[in-house]
Amino acid sequence: MQARVILSISIVGLGLIIAAVPQNTTHPYKLTVSQLLEEAKGRQQFFSPDELADKLINKDPSVQLIDVRDQDDFEKFSLPGAINIPLTDLLNDKWKDILDQDVKMNIFYSNGSIEANEAWMITRQLGYNNLFVLEGGLNYWVETIMNPQKPASTAPNEELARYDFRQAAGSALGGGGAIQLAAPADQGRGAKPALIKKPGKKKASGGC
DSSP 57-115: HTT-TTEEEEE-S-HHHHHH---TT-EE--GGGTT-GGGHHHHS-SSSEEEEE-SSSHH
Share of the chain above pLDDT 90, in %: 46
The pLDDT of residue 31: 66
Strongest mean pLDDT among 45-49, 105-109, 116-120, 182-186: 105-109
Residue 62 pLDDT greater than 50, yes or no: yes
pLDDT per position as a tens digit, 118-166: 999 889 888 899 999 999 999 999 999 999 989 898 889 999 999 999 8
Q: How confident is the model at residue 68 (pLDDT cuts 50, 70, 90)?
A: very high
Rounded-to-integer distance, Cα 81 and Cα 63, Å: 10
CA distance 194 to 196: 6
Q: What is the pLDDT of residue 26?
A: 55
Return the pLDDT at 43. 76
Question: Where is pLDDT greater, at 76 or 2?
Answer: 76
Give ranges for CATH 3.40.250.10 in the chain.
2-136
Question: What confidence tier does 42 reach under pLDDT thresholds 50, 70, 90?
Answer: low
Class of domain 2-136: alpha beta
- Specify the pLDDT at position 8: 52
Helix (H) or strand (E) holding 47: strand 46-47
- Report whether pLDDT(177) > 50: no
Contact of 67 with 109, CB cutoff 8 Å: yes
What φ, ψ does residue 24 adopt, rounded to 5°? -130, 95
Least confident of 6-15, 113-122, 182-191: 182-191
Report helix angle 157-172 to 49-57, nearest 10: 50
Reported as a single tens digit per residue, the pLDDT across 180-208 is 434 433 444 333 333 333 333 333 344 43
Position 156: which residue type?
Answer: P
pLDDT of residue 96: 92
Count Cβ atoms below 10 Å from residue 203 Cβ, excluding itself: 12
